């Protein structure tokens, strides 16, 4: 398709958009009385309007049933989280028993490390990407120290080549070969938070497994954004937050994937709690742990229902639409945004540099050469909610559920005005 940088063309694309009606399913903040152009679904997704109904249902059951809501609510609380497994399995390419919802992302990664980071004297190193999201870095360093090892020795980072803004798959594979039989674990962010790059998870997973290591993925920026086939790729484990592209609300419950080959394995270590015991015997209060036969065996405590309910609300939309349709619009609207950026760049004789490679999801990270944070401030004051990252990058993530092509056009015009006014 040949794009045009005109309002009429953007509106034409919106008229053809099969997901257009979902823009009315979300609440948009307002600046100067107008709904914002929202580019930060990669940080916190907008609130779906249907969320309130799911929350109200839980609050009503709590008020009217109190403790009996665990068993007699319309959606009983004791198995509430189980309703999320099947729709999430479709999103991440898993079998339903391989998925559960619990805790928050970094908590879950720590718990999964108990099972999948078991260093020996020879095999103890962890491979991750250079400058991983800080929480992942802290988690890995603390896990290494917990085992009495030195993070400077045990953590191996794959670096970007000098002058380049993204990683090359061949460099990841070469580093796996270099570490060899010292490699215990590969744990990388499936989509990099800074540059929006989608790693070749299939190829890297296969290489890590061939080297004899466990392979896990932090899918915070991938779940609900890119195609995933975790079961088929033989990924050992993964976890993701729910509040970015899956719109569950700030800090809400995290998803977990554990490959079926690790389920019902009595030799795998894990921290255990009451809610991981079999449903049939859970309330018999037996002194010995009898694990669920699915990923729920990693559950510790009963689900935080007021955190899980908004997640379920959002997943009903994913069920209605499907990842295929979301990805189709994602690709088209991100391509249109990229076109708009290049058009404005040429018009104002600026020097944008899109540092996101073609292996990408919803996000474009743009290096604003010659522009300071004053341009970001201008955009925010004029109703463009975007994200600033040092030294001079804005992250733009048009989420396909609620972003419009007209948004992309108007953003381009505001960007142009901001550059001219701040020159």
Mean pLDDT for the stretch of residues 241-256: 97
Domain count of the chain? 2
Q: Give residue 311's pLDDT.
A: 98
Neighbours of 279 (CB within 10 A): 12
pLDDT of 281-329, one tens digit each? 888 999 999 999 999 999 999 999 999 999 999 999 999 999 999 999 9
Weakest-pLDDT range from 78-87, 94-103, 122-131, 413-422: 413-422
Q: Which domain holds residue 345?
A: 7-35+323-422
236 lies in the same domain as 93: yes
Closest to 362 measured CA to CA, from 327, 390, 394, 387? 327
Q: Give residue 67's pLDDT.
A: 97
pLDDT at 421 > cutoff 90: no
Q: Out of 321, 353, 379, pick the residue that ends a domain.
A: 321
User: Is the pTM of the predicted complex or chain greater than 0.85?
Assistant: yes
Neighbours of 38 (CB within 10 A): 22
Contact 69, 61 (CB under 8 A): yes
242 lies in the same domain as 133: yes
270 lies in the same domain as 337: no
Tell me if 416 is assigned to some domain.
yes
Closest to 127 measured CA to CA, from 193, 171, 164? 171
pLDDT at 224 > cutoff 80: yes
71 lies in the same domain as 212: yes
pLDDT at 74 > cutoff 90: yes
d(CA 346, CA 342): 6
How would you label 162-191 residue by residue, b for 16+ Cβ within 10 Å and e otherwise?
Answer: eeebbbeeeebbebbeebeebbbbbbbbbb
Closest to 241 measured CA to CA, from 284, 172, 167, 191? 191
Mean pLDDT for the stretch of residues 100-104: 97
Q: Give residue 283's pLDDT.
A: 87
The DSSP secondary-structure symbol of 129 reads E
267 lies in the same domain as 346: no
pLDDT at 350 > cutoff 90: no
What are 210's two structure tokens? 């061939």
Mean pLDDT for the stretch of residues 321-340: 98
Using only the alpha carbons of the chain, give its radius of gyration. Answer: 23
226 lies in the same domain as 112: yes
d(CA 352, CA 394): 11
Q: Tokens 């270099």 correspond to what residue?
A: 178
77 lies in the same domain as 223: yes
Closest to 102 measured CA to CA, from 239, 216, 280? 239
306 lies in the same domain as 331: no
Q: Give residue 351's pLDDT.
A: 73
Closest to 245 measured CA to CA, from 394, 44, 51? 44
Tell me if 2 is assigned to some domain.
no
325: part of which helix (H) or strand (E)?
A: helix 323-348
pLDDT of 130-149, one tens digit each? 999 999 999 999 999 999 99
Q: Give residue 389's pLDDT.
A: 86
Q: Between 139 and 351, name the one with better pLDDT.
A: 139
In the structure, what pLDDT confidence band is assigned to residue 17 with cuts at 50, 70 and 90? Answer: very high
Closest to 192 measured CA to CA, from 402, 415, 408, 397? 397
């Amino acid at each position: 398709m040949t794009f045009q940088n005109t309002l009429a063309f953007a509106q034409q694309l919106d008229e053809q958009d099969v997901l257009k009606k979902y823009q009315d399913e979300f609440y948009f903040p307002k600046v100067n009385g107008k709904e914002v152009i929202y580019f930060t679904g990669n940080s916190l997704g907008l609130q779906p309007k249907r969320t309130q109904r799911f929350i109200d249902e839980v609050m009503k059951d709590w008020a009217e049933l109190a403790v009996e809501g665990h068993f007699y609510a319309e959606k009983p609380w004791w198995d509430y989280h189980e309703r999320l497994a099947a729709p999430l399995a479709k999103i991440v390419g898993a079998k339903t028993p391989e998925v559960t919802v619990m805790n928050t992302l970094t908590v879950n990664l720590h718990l999964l490390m108990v099972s999948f980071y078991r260093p020996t004297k020879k095999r103890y190193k962890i491979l991750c990407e250079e400058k991983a999201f800080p929480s992942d870095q802290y988690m890995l360093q603390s896990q290494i120290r917990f085992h009495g090892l030195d993070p400077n020795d045990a953590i191996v980072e794959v670096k970007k080549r000098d002058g380049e803004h993204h990683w090359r798959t061949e460099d990841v594979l070469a580093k796996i070969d270099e570490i060899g039989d010292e490699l215990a674990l590969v744990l990388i962010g499936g989509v990099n938070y800074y540059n929006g790059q989608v790693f070749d998870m299939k190829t890297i997973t296969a290489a890590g497994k061939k080297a004899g290591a466990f392979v896990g993925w932090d899918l915070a920026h991938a779940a609900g954004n890119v195609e995933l086939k975790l079961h088929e790729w033989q990924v050992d484990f993964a976890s993701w937050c729910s509040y970015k592209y899956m719109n569950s609300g700030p800090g809400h419950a995290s998803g977990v994937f554990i490959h079926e080959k690790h389920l019902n394995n009595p030799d795998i270590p894990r921290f255990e709690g009451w809610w991981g015991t079999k449903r049939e015997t859970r309330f018999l209060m037996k002194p010995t742990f009898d694990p669920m036969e699915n990923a729920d065996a990693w559950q510790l405590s009963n689900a935080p229902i007021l955190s899980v309910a908004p997640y379920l609300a959002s997943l009903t939309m994913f069920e209605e639409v499907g990842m295929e349709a979301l990805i189709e619009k994602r690709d088209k609207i991100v391509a249109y945004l990229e076109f708009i950026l290049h058009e404005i760049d040429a018009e104002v004789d600026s020097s944008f540099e899109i540092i996101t490679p073609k292996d990408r999801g919803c996000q474009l990270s743009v290096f604003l050469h010659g522009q300071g944070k004053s341009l970001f401030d201008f955009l925010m004051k004029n109703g463009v909610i975007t994200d600033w990252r040092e030294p001079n990058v804005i992250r733009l993530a048009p989420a396909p559920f609620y972003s419009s092509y007209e948004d992309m056009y108007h953003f381009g015009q505001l960007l142009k005005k901001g550059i001219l006014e701040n020159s």
